[in-house]
Homo-oligomer: A and B are copies of this chain.
Amino acid sequence: MSAPTIRDVAERAGVSKSLVSLVLRGSEQVRPEKRQAVLAAVEELGYRPNAAARSLSERRTRSVGVLLNDLRNPWFVELLDGLGSRLHENGLHMMLADGRLNRHLGEDLTRIFTELRVDGLVAVGTLPGSDELLAAATHIPTVVAGAVEPVLPHVDVVAGDDSYGAALATEHLVDLGHRRIAHIAGQGVAGELRRTSFEKVMHAHGLTDLATVEQGDHTEEGGYRAMVRLLTAPQRPTAVFAFNDIAGVGALSAAEELGLQVPRDLSLVGYDNTYLARLRHLWLTTVDNGSHDIGRRAAQLLVHRMKDPRRAAETVLSEPRLEVRGSTGPPSTE
């Protein structure tokens, strides 16, 4: 009744369980006819290896834990795609844990992965409660993807080059002829990098006095409010660079509600190139930070670190690319 084990297969094939194990692990040291017998028995019994037993004995699980804090953010999903494909090439599984989905678990997401004895850990984005993560990272090979924040002795980091990306966006607006340009800033390290870079580029063009920064957050609402503040101020900007696409969409709503046409009266750039920006209705000019690529590289770094846990931590920046769509254009000449 219960699932067949390796011993059942052995008995059926008339060999020892050790031989079955050898065949199943693809050993060359097995006479062909025995191999056939074993494979036939496996087929007939519908044998499936028991992962728990295997990993108990092998002392590894061939799986890596992926911690992220919001599956609702399409950016993460894109990254997961790249991550998963490269991990799979290395015979590894991905186990997802969403900080938000599992918030009812308290902070013990990493605890679960510890008990599961994952072979590696990938932290995607900026995580809350990273103390836990730090503790885990001392035992388990760990890579941080998509955030630059927790830098630890043996933890690699892969992220988009936020400074460069923000520069791309700002330069684009300046090139179009805009002078009075605002930035809707985000939080965290990424937010700061983008803001600083925006200010630096503006400064380099001698536009320091025309640069405004309005604090927003990662939400649509935040972008909306920031934009309302920007547009009701005495000197309104002719172009706005938003921290991310979501904030950008909020900003877009505000602009249209206040009667401005985009891009005629106002140019707008987002960040992340999520599918929001690709919606025909929004068609946002944005910065693509290559999430898929970031995911792949994170996987690669993790694989290396699993082979050699004590190597020096590496930081890789992925080069972003400007994606020009319909929300930017030259400033109106009137």
A→B interface (CB under 8 Å) = 3, 48-53, 55-56, 61, 71-72, 74, 77, 80-81, 84-85, 88, 93-96, 98, 100-102, 104-105, 111-112, 114-117, 139, 220, 224, 249-250, 252-253, 256, 275, 279-282
Copies of this protein in the complex: 2
Report the Cα distance A17→B114, complex, angstroms: 21
CB distance from A141 to the nearest CB of B (A): 15
Cβ B56 vs Cβ A84 within 8 A = no
In the complex, what distance in Å separates the CA atom of A77 from the CA atom of B80? 14
3 smallest A-B Cβ distances: which pairs?
A253-B281, A253-B280, A52-B56
Shortest C-beta distance, A266 to chain B (Å), equals 14
Does more than half of chain A's interface fall in helix, strand or loop, or is it mixed?
helix
Q: Is the CB of A224 within 8 A of B96?
A: no
Contact A48:B104 (CB < 8 A) given known A80-B71, A279-B249: no
* 7 A/B residue pairs, CB under 8 Å, sorted by A: A51-B116, A52-B53, A84-B104, A95-B95, A220-B280, A281-B281, A281-B282
A281 touches B52 (CB 8 A): no
Cβ contact within 8 Å between A101 and B72: no
Task: Give the distance in Å from the alpha carbon of A256 to the alpha carbon of B283 in the complex.
Answer: 13
B52→A220 contact, CB < 8 A? no
In the complex, the chain B residue whose C-beta lies closest to that of A115 is B51
Provided the pairs A52-B61, A55-B52 are in contact, do residues A275 and B72 lie with their beta carbons within 8 angstroms? yes
Contact between A80 and B101, CB atoms less than 8 A apart: yes
How far is it, in angstroms, between the C-alpha of A281 and the C-alpha of B72 when the chains are bound?
18
Residues of B within 8 Å of A93, CB to CB, are: 112
Bound complex: CA A81 to CA B250 (Å): 25
Which chain B residues lie closer than 8 Å to A55 at the CB level? 52
Min C-beta distance of A39 to chain B, whole Å: 16
